[in-house]
Amino acid sequence: MLSPVNQLEKIRDKWARGEVCIGTNATLTDSTVIELLGEVGFDIVWIDMEHSAMTLEHALNHVRACRGVGMAPFIRVPSNDPVVVKPFLEMHPAGIIMPRIESVADAEQAVKSCRYPPRGVRGFSPNRGVRFTARDTDDYLSKVDSEILVILQIEHIDAVNQIDQILDIPGVDSIVPGPFDLSGTMGLLGQTGHPEVVAAMQRMLDVARAKGIPMGQSIGPNPDVLRHWIDGGISWICSGGDWYLMYQSAEKLRALMSSMT
């Protein structure tokens, strides 16, 4: 029997039980990193194709590695352009994270880029999604919209101010703030803990929960901040990342060894 392609059903099952899905981020190119993170027990890995040097081949290998360790891959793509998004959709990840959503128009374009006509403009040529013909095409078409989450990354205060309208767009499956860029559009670049920035993200969460749409977070590993959002009703959260975790562990080991010499 074929194993689940992208592990999304595990995420939905946890959400149905009222549980928070936890994850971290990947920017390094070696898929061994993905296997390691999956063995640790993370539910999700955020594969960052916006701010990394990864190629499409690297991303595909990461998605494949996720299947082996039962972890759901969320790919942050470079933009909501349908031509740019298309090859990532063919990898059939659990979610596509669309960055730099600044308006209702941006959000509408993001959804259209991920959906086939008549709901969108995605070109048709699936391979991994149909399991290389092991899956019937009609079955694929009837279910594909529920198999890849369209996740909007809200990174501008203008989009926060339009969050009600954005979340009313059919096909928006989840949202996640971009705290640093959001803070910059508020004249508070880097001050992600500023009360006004936190209030903007809280507004997003309040509206999302009222509309029954899962909201995620991508933040640093500060225990108090993590607790704030987890207790506040977030549905999924990613923190840290491959290079960050490697550096922190290496630094602790170096300090320990240095103290003994």
**pTM to 2 decimals?**
0.96
User: Once rounded to an integer, what is the mean pLDDT over residues 88-106?
Assistant: 98
- Please give the pLDDT value at position 91: 98
State residue 236 phi and psi, 5-degree precision.
-150, 155
DSSP for 69-95, written as a single string:
HT-EEEEE-S-S-HHHHHHHHHT--SE
Q: Chain-wide mean pLDDT for the chain?
A: 96
Q: What is the CATH number of the domain that holds 154?
A: 3.20.20.60
Confidence of residue 18 (pLDDT cuts 50, 70, 90): very high
Residue 254 lies in a domain: yes
User: Once rounded to an integer, what is the mean pLDDT over residues 189-207?
Assistant: 97
d(CA 157, CA 180): 12
For the chain, what is the radius of gyration of the CA atoms?
18
- Please give the pLDDT value at position 75: 98
d(CA 148, CA 170): 14
Residue 2 lies in a domain: no
User: Once rounded to an integer, what is the mean pLDDT over residues 19-23?
Assistant: 98
User: Once rounded to an integer, what is the mean pLDDT over residues 53-78?
Assistant: 97
Residue 232 lies in a domain: yes
As separate numbers, helices (DSSP H) first and strands (DSSP E) second, the chain gives 12, 8
Query: What confidence tens digit (pLDDT) does each residue in 55-66 have?
Result: 999 999 999 999
Taking Cα atoms as reference points, which of 65, 86, 90 lies closest to residue 3?
Answer: 65
User: Once rounded to an integer, what is the mean pLDDT over residues 240-259?
Assistant: 97
Take residue 193 and report the two structure tokens written for it: 């803990």
State residue 22 phi and psi, 5-degree precision.
-115, 150
Share of the chain above pLDDT 90, in %: 98
Residues 6 or more apart from 128 whose CB is under 8 A from it?
5, 90, 91, 92
Confidence of residue 3 (pLDDT cuts 50, 70, 90): low
Q: How many CB atoms lie within 10 A of CB 77?
A: 25
- Please give the pLDDT value at position 2: 45
Residue 150 lies in a domain: yes
- Please give the pLDDT value at position 4: 76
Is the pLDDT confidence value at 171 over 60? Answer: yes
Residue 164 lies in a domain: yes
Q: 189-206 burial string, b = 16+ CB within 10 Å, else e? A: eebbbeeebbebbeebbe
Judge whether 239 and 220 are in contact, CB under 8 Å.
yes
Q: How many domains does the chain have?
A: 1
Amino acid at 16: A
d(CA 179, CA 192): 6
Query: What confidence tens digit (pLDDT) does each residue in 214-240 have?
Result: 999 999 999 999 999 999 999 999 999
Is the pLDDT confidence value at 1 over 50? Answer: no
Residue span of the structural domain in which 87 resides = 8-258
Residue 1 lies in a domain: no
Residue 3 lies in a domain: no
